[in-house]
Amino acid sequence: MKTAGLAEASATASAWKRESLSVGLVPTMGWLHQGHLSLIRRARRENARVIVSIFVNPIQFGPNEDLDRYPRDLERDAALCREAGVDMLFHPTAEEMYPEGFQSSISVGALTQTLCGRSRPAHFTGVCTVVGKLFNLLRPERAYFGQKDAQQATVIRRMAADLNMNIGIVVCPTVREEDGLAVSSRNVHLGAAERQAALCLFRALSSAQEQVAAGVRDTAVLLGGMRAIIASEPAAAADYIEIVDPETLFPVDHIEKKVLAALAVFIGKTRLIDNVLLEQ
Ligand code: AMP
């Protein structure tokens, strides 16, 4: 496995293209965990070559967010990638990605104005811009994203379709710890008591699933139950708790088809997100 900066990664990906080798890309911000590895394994199965990118993208973080304390360990990540059979680790610098004079962006419309977009107004433009750059640099056949970041996956799918990027967007299931907590790089910030408190996200989502299975269709009832579970955890503060159409991300009042229950909750200083699809 090679670790490459921008010029080398782009040249290698072009060479693979010339040889008609299919390329699968897994974009990440590093501090790799089982969630990332599940994406990498799927990419490994479906492509002749696998590229993992590790780039903590500064433009997707707001001014008071956790860019500076985002966890980083390239050596450990590289060892995990090597073990997982990754062909190339693309690790550009911020200067390579955003050289002096950089002034373009990709912004997607209404899908980015809701859920996480409400409290993180510049976030999805940052995400789409960097993912668009990765797509242009590496020209993969397929790119792999996690359902854990459901809104991100929906926004990227829209961007790829709208801009005729001709790249398959593959969304993989959320990987969870044994007790249900969604695996996330940010979990490293949780102290022992916070780690316990963080279970309220999964508890709230599970209770909605159970209520739907028991026949509840009114989302106000489901949201009330979820809010009560988060409110009963003293270390937790909800950013949002919503039930939306998984494609439009518009709120749904009454469940008639598959809907997305999604939430963002602060546990102490750490903002966690999670979601489940609710099916009748
Ligand atoms: P990140 O490094 O957090 O930007 O995540 C990189 C990719 O891994 C994104 O597509 C995430 O949705 C995905 N991912 C993160 N956590 C999980 C998880 N627990 N299960 C599945 N995919 C995940």
| Ligand 1 pocket, residue 53 CB under 6 Å | no
Tell me: do 257 and 149 sit in the same domain.
Answer: no
pLDDT at 240: 98
Q: What is the mean predicted confidence (pLDDT) over 134-157?
A: 98
Cα–Cα nearest to 232, from 201, 262, 209, 263: 201
pLDDT at 208: 98
Q: Is 58 helix (H, G, I), strand (E, B) or coil?
A: helix
Q: What is the mean predicted confidence (pLDDT) over 142-150?
A: 98
Ligand 1 atom, smallest distance to 31 CA: 2
CATH of the domain at 261: 3.30.1300.10
Tell me: do 58 and 84 sit in the same domain.
Answer: yes
**pLDDT tens across 53-82, in order?**
999 999 999 998 989 999 999 999 999 999
pLDDT at 280: 79
The catalytic position among 33, 36, 91, 254 is: 36
CB-CB contact of 91 with 29 (8 Å): no
pLDDT at 224: 98
Tell me: do 245 and 107 sit in the same domain.
Answer: no
Residue 97 pLDDT exceeds 90: yes
Q: Is 91 a catalytic residue?
A: no
Cα–Cα dist 271/237, whole Å: 9
Tell me: do 12 and 131 sit in the same domain.
Answer: yes
| Ligand 1 pocket, residue 145 CB under 6 Å | yes
Q: CA quadruple 101, 102, 104, 108: dihedral positive or negative?
A: negative
- Tell me what percent of the residues of the chain surpass a pLDDT of 90: 99
Ligand 1 atom, smallest distance to 145 CA: 10
Question: For residue 174, what is the DSSP state?
Answer: P
Tell me: do 205 and 156 sit in the same domain.
Answer: no
Spacing, Cα 276 to ligand 1 middle (Å)? 15
**pLDDT tens across 99-122, in order?**
999 999 999 999 999 999 999 999
Beta bridge partners, 51, equal 25, 88
Does residue 178 fall inside a structural domain?
no
pLDDT at 116: 98
Tell me: do 141 and 251 sit in the same domain.
Answer: no
CB-CB contact of 276 with 205 (8 Å): yes
Cα–Cα dist 122/60, whole Å: 6
Tell me: do 57 and 157 sit in the same domain.
Answer: yes
pLDDT at 100: 98
Cα–Cα dist 271/194, whole Å: 12
Ligand 1 atom, smallest distance to 186 CA: 3
CB-CB contact of 108 with 155 (8 Å): yes
Does residue 25 fall inside a structural domain?
yes
Residue 226 pLDDT exceeds 90: yes
Helix, strand, coil percentages, rounded to 5, for the chain: 45, 20, 35
Compute the C-alpha angle 87/89/93, nearest 5°. 155
**pLDDT tens across 3-53, in order?**
999 999 999 999 999 999 999 999 999 999 999 999 999 999 999 999 999
Q: Structure tokens of 246?
A: 């998984």
Quote the number of domains for the chain. 2
Cα–Cα dist 249/155, whole Å: 10
Tell me: do 161 and 199 sit in the same domain.
Answer: no
Question: Residue 271 belongs to what domain range?
Answer: 185-275
Q: Structure tokens of 89?
A: 């680790």
Could you tell me how many residues make up the chain?
Answer: 280
Q: Is the pTM of this model over 0.85?
A: yes
Amino acid found at 93 = T
Does residue 177 fall inside a structural domain?
no
Task: Report CA-CA distances (Å) from 276 to 124, 131, 205.
Answer: 21, 24, 7
Does residue 63 fall inside a structural domain?
yes
The H-assigned helical ranges of the chain are: 6-18, 34-46, 74-83, 94-97, 116-119, 123-138, 150-162, 192-197, 199-213, 219-231
- At residue 236 the predicted structure's pLDDT band, cuts being 50, 70 and 90, is very high
Cα–Cα dist 272/181, whole Å: 10
Does residue 223 fall inside a structural domain?
yes
pLDDT at 85: 98
pLDDT at 20: 98
CATH of the domain at 22: 3.40.50.620
Does residue 280 fall inside a structural domain?
no
Tell me: do 13 and 130 sit in the same domain.
Answer: yes
Cα–Cα dist 6/191, whole Å: 37
**pLDDT tens across 161-211, in order?**
999 999 999 999 999 999 999 999 999 999 999 999 999 999 999 999 999
